[in-house]
Chains A and B, each alone.
Chain A
Amino acid sequence: AQSVAQPEDQVNVAEGNPLTVKCTYSVSGNPYLFWYVQYPNRGLQFLLKYITGDNLVKGSYGFEAEFNKSQTSFHLKKPSALVSDSALYFCAVRDPGTASKLTFGTGTRLQVTL
């Protein structure tokens, strides 16, 4: 069975500093990995994904993530945080053989302060 772990319930960072939101996964084959963001009282918005190819993927709003197969990780990063980045972030994994079945992590709340 596939699973995702987001070990931090909350990450606090000052505006302008780099941020990292951690994600590790477990899946039987080569994974499809996704990051989504949720703003208060809204649905989830897609940020970026890793399917194959370059281990460093770039996404929306200046976010990027690095796929590390040996460490089974897919950490979300941004070089310079903004207050407007404050939101709930979800990592998700899909086994390519499982159609549309996404498994989500429990989410990490990012708080960016001035």
Chain B
Amino acid sequence: NAGVTQTPKFQVLKTGQSMTLQCAQDMNHEYMSWYRQDPGMGLRLIHYSVGAGITDQGEVPNGYNVSRSTTEDFPLRLLSAAPSQTSVYFCASSPRTGGLAGGRDGNEQFFGPGTRLTVL
């Protein structure tokens, strides 16, 4: 298994450009999440999904869109990049062993290697 893969590893954008960060997992996990990591702030949840066709906002969703058309893929779209979106982005997945509305399974998340994004 490749686990959680993210592309690209590095990206430089100009303010106002749009792009999509790709995330894929081959573990058949229902849960997938996007985080951003900034110095001194830990990881903050951007968007998450509990299954194909279901997404929801996290702590810092503004400026980002997601969709989940398949179990395997969870792309993150930056609509109009801003310097404040300069960060390292991590995708994560975990299995769901409980019911859809529960989330009481306590499974740990598996993280991808990250995408380092710079917005000029």
Contact = CB atoms under 8 A, between A and B. Distances in A.
Genuine A/B complex = yes
Interface of A: 4, 9, 32, 34, 36, 42-46, 49, 51-52, 90, 94, 96-107
Nearest to A100: B31
A46 B42 contact: no
Nearest to A90: B42
Interface string B92-120: 10100000001110101111111000000
A51, A52, A105: residue with the most chain B Cβ atoms closer than 10 Å: A51
Contact of A104 (B32, B43, B102, B113): B43
A46 B90 contact: no
Contact of A34 (B31, B33, B108, B110): B108
Contact of A49 (B33, B90, B102, B108): B108
A34 B94 CA distance: 13
Nearest to B59: A103
25 contacts: A9-B40, A42-B114, A43-B4, A43-B90, A43-B111, A44-B43, A44-B90, A46-B110, A49-B108, A51-B106, A52-B106, A94-B103, A96-B106, A97-B102, A98-B103, A99-B31, A99-B50, A99-B103, A100-B32, A100-B33, A100-B103, A102-B43, A104-B42, A106-B41, A106-B42
A69 B33 CA distance: 28
B45 A43 contact: no
Nearest to B49: A100
A52 B90 CA distance: 28
Contact of B109 (A52, A102, A106, A107): A102
